[in-house]
Amino acid sequence: MAAALSTDRLVMRYGALLVTDDVSLDVRPGELHAIIGPNGAGKTTLINQLSGELAPRSGTVRFDGQDVTRLRVDQRARAGLLRSYQITSIFEEFTVLENATLSALAAAGHPWRFWQPLLASKAAVGAAQEALALAGLAELGHVPAGELAYGQRRQLELAMTLAARPSLLLLDEPMAGMSPQESRAVTQLLSQLKRRYTIVLVEHDMDAVFSLADRISVLVYGKLMFTGTPDEIREHPEVRAVYLGEEAVHGDAQRHS
Amino acid sequence: MFPTSLRVSAALPLALLAALAVVPFVADMAGQPFWLSFFARILIYAIAASALNLALGFGGLVSFGHALFLGLGSYAVALPAAHGFAQGWLHLLVVLGGCGLVALLVGAVSLRTTGMAFIMITLAFAQMGYFLFVSLKAYGGDDGLAVSQTSRFFSVDLGAVRPLYVVAWLVLALVTWWMTHLRASAFGMALRGTRQNARRVQAMGMQPQQIKLVAYVLSGVMCGVAGMLLANMNAYVSPSTLAWTVSGDLIVMVVLGGMGSVYGPLLGALVFLGLEEVLKGYTEHWMVVMGPLIVLMALLGRGGLVGLMQRLDERMATALKTRMAGSSANLDTRAPVSATLPAQDKPGEAAWQPR
């Protein structure tokens, strides 16, 4: 089966520091592919290269069979490769619905409308409302995004990505800083999104990763150490030693719950 | 339906705009023709400030060089006129084409920078324009140039102050009307989004640089139209229109009125030029009074005059809400539902809030 998203020998350096070390990754259509690794393993840097915010020193990124290595972020986004941010990046002055609608409109076409209100574009508003409902924000459409609580901001962050009707989602720590309840809600949301979208998930919450992921890739010091199913990861001695350290997977999971 | 729908922040500027429409009649009756040219100047600067607000308020592009477009718009009338062309349409064409082209070039270069560098580079371009016209000795250089042929549209001659006033008012009304729509349009939202978080705008699939450039060009062209009216009103142009102080005045007007609001530039121009005129009547050192007043305004109100009015509106809405909740609680157990209704106006109000 052709990969939805793949990298071939991707290399990225900051000065002498090798942050992405010859990474060749395959993400299959429809799978939820988690990327884990200790802090500083280069997960966000890898996501930034997949989304187009960083250009790799060498290697290629292919999306839907096309070489997108040289495409800009917005070009990849319009092709259906959408990302969410680890640091919430919403438009605080706009309402929740406006945030999501702008995202839907951006993916669907161009912003060159100088008279008709944004909220008059029915298709975009429809997509936005659908995404807000999915993310559990249906009731909050009229609230200014700046007034949202932290967990709700993270939900909006997700909803904005969904409103664009992506074919592939790059989620950079969607549960960062969430309370256990909020994390469980997002885990549930992601399990609903699974199969509908191909998802690349970077996440520290091991409970979420092991319950959601079809396959997991372990990144250590920029190197792709191993890719496998959650069970294979649990049993992999090297992964246990390097990434999970002294703690067993279960111990780690308990600490997070 | 609800008395809260009467918002000072929207009603007062509209009332002012309506009042400006009757200035010609009042000036006639009072026998004060000076009033007409004084208020015409306010209208023209309000157009220029609205133009700057599109870039500065909506887009966060702190252009310290918009006098360039005011001056170019002026010379776009004076230069063809010096060669015997009096057709208003031709002047307008030169304004639109000239300012559009210059804004495109200046914008394409300046927008590669942000923050302080952008402020400095736009200032530098405006200074280049200033010295260019100073050095054009054939067209008066430093002394400026009389507009020998004012713009004629059909039988309307903008050289006469009355038609000029009417046209300036119409242009301002149109621009303001457009801005109310533009602000909430797809482009307006994308532009305001770019100011808040350009990275996200691009991640969503749009090109922030392109959006900013289009805003800058629109802003420059609109400012050029103001310059065209200014040249006709004064029947004279000079490089002083391109002076950096003029760019500064425009910024002060926008900030004073309320950056990013639709009516802010109109209020700002009115208060700034009005104060200047009043204070000049008392002392030639009017800036000594004006300066602290502007500082005070900047300290008092984030969001300028419009922001001040919005806070007043919010206070009134809250007072009304609590009063209604209090009085109807005795009559109707469903009161809280209706009491929350005014709060639903909030997103609109919040969207007005400039940062």
Nearest-by-Cβ selection for B205 from A91, A107, A116: A107
A26 touches chain B (CB under 8 A): no
Cβ contact A42:A219 at 8 Å: yes
Residue A111: which of B199, B206, B351 has the nearest Cβ?
A: B206
Q: Are B258 and B31 in contact (CB under 8 A)?
A: no
Q: What is the mean pLDDT of chain B?
A: 90
What does the pLDDT read at residue B332? 46
Specify whether the CB–CB gap between B353 and B310 falls below 8 A: yes
Asked if the Cβ–Cβ distance from A98 to B189 is below 8 Å, we say yes
User: Which residues in chain B are contacts of A107 at CB distance < 8 A?
Assistant: 204-205
Name B189's Cβ contacts closer than 8 Å, sequence gap at least 6. Answer: A94, A98, A102, A111, A118
Of B18 and B348, more confident: B18
The total domain count for chain B is 1
The residue in chain B having the minimum alpha-carbon distance to the alpha carbon of residue A162 is B204
What pLDDT was estimated at residue B108? Answer: 98
pLDDT of B80 reads 96
In DSSP terms, which residues pair with B153 in a beta bridge?
B156
Of all residues in chain B, what percent carry a pLDDT higher than 70? 90
A93 CB neighbours in chain B (<8 A) are: 192, 196, 350-351, 353, 355
Helices vs. strands in chain A: H and E counts, helices first:
10, 10
- Is the CB of B188 less than 8 angstroms away from the CB of A144? no
Q: Which residues pair with A226 in a beta bridge?
A: A218
Partner residue opposite B196 with nearest CB, options A93, A118, A160: A93
pLDDT value of position B336: 42
Taking only the tens place, the pLDDT of each residue in A141-176 is 999 999 999 989 999 999 999 999 999 999 999 998
| Mean local confidence (pLDDT), B159-182 | 97
CATH code: domain of residue B291 = 1.10.3470
From the list B255, B259, B257, the residue with the least C-alpha distance to B267 is B257
* Cβ-Cβ contacts under 8 Å, B350 against chain A: 93, 95, 144, 146-147
Most B CBs within 10 Å, among A49, A115, A158, A165, to test the B interface = A115
Measured distance CA(A241)–CA(A168) in Å, rounded: 32
Contact assessment for residue B200 and residue A85, using Cβ atoms and an 8 Å cutoff:
yes
Minimal CA separation from A100 to chain B, in Å: 10
CA B239 to chain CA mean position, Å: 21
Give the least confident one: A233-237, A253-257, B67-71: A253-257
The whole-model pTM stands at 0.90
Q: What letter represents residue B36's amino acid?
A: L
Which CATH number is associated with domain A1-80+167-257?
3.40.50.300
- pLDDT tens-place string over residues B327-336: 655 544 443 4
According to the model, what pLDDT value does residue A244 have? 61
A117 touches chain B (CB under 8 A): yes
Domain of B52, in residue numbers: 3-352
CB–CB contact A77 B202 (8 Å): yes
Minimum-distance CB partner of B185 among A51, A89, A117: A117
pLDDT of residue A207: 87
User: pLDDT tens for residues A165-220?
Assistant: 999 999 999 998 888 988 998 899 999 999 899 999 999 888 899 999 999 999 99
Chain A positions in Cβ-Cβ contact with residue B204 (cut-off 8 Å): 74, 77, 82, 102-103, 106-107, 160, 164
Across the interface, whether the CB atoms of B181 and A115 are under 8 A apart is answered: yes
User: Closest chain A residue to B178 measured between Cα atoms?
Assistant: A115
Structure tokens at B20: 């400006």
Cβ–Cβ of B193/A51 closer than 8 Å? no
Reading the block at residue B28, the tokens are 């006639």
Beta bridge pairs of residue A197: A194
Residue type, B336: P
Contacts for A212 with CB less than 8 Å, ≥ 6 apart: A32, A34, A187, A190, A191, A194, A201
What are the residues facing A18 on neighbouring strands?
A13
Predicted pLDDT at A257? 40
Q: Do B206 and A103 touch (CB under 8 A)?
A: no
Q: What are the residue ranges spanned by the domains of chain A?
A: 1-80+167-257, 89-165
Top-confidence residue, A55 or B296? A55
Which residue among A78, A82, A114 sits closest to B182, beta carbon to beta carbon? A114
Is the pLDDT at B18 greater than 70? The verdict is yes
Q: What is the pLDDT of residue B165?
A: 97
Partner-chain residue, chosen from B187, B202, B205, that has the shortest CB–CB distance to A112: B187
Mapping DSSP onto H, E and C, the string for B17-86 reads HHHHHCHHHHHHHHCCHHHHHHHHHHHHHHHHHHHHHHHHHHCCCCCCCCHHHHHHHHHHHHHHHHCCCC
A119 at interface of B, judged by CB pairs closer than 8 A: yes
Closest CB from A102, A114, A142 relative to B204: A102
The 10s digit of each residue's pLDDT in B126-154 is 999 999 999 999 999 999 999 999 999 99
* Phi, psi (rounded to 5 degrees) for B85: -95, 120
**Mean pLDDT across B216-221:** 98
Lowest mean pLDDT among A14-18, B23-27, B107-111: A14-18
Q: What are the pLDDT digits (tens) for A71-127?
A: 999 999 999 999 999 888 999 999 999 999 999 999 887 899 999 999 999 999 999
Among chain B residues, the shortest Cα distance to A125 is held by B186
Could you give the C-alpha distances from B67 to B118, B163, B168, B251, B252, in angstroms and in order? Answer: 15, 25, 18, 10, 13
pLDDT at B4 over 70: no
In 3D space, the residue among B176, B174, B143, B164 whose CA is nearest the CA of residue B49 turns out to be B176
Q: What is the pLDDT of residue B346?
A: 39
Does position B347 have pLDDT exceeding 80, yes or no? no
Q: How confident is the model at residue A256 (pLDDT cuts 50, 70, 90)?
A: very low
Q: How would residue A241 be classed by pLDDT, with cut points 50, 70 and 90?
A: confident
Q: Label the pairing between strands A58-63 and A66-67.
A: antiparallel
ipTM of the assembly? 0.91
Query: One-letter amino acid identity for A173?
Result: E
User: Any chain B CB within 8 A of the CB of A162?
Assistant: no
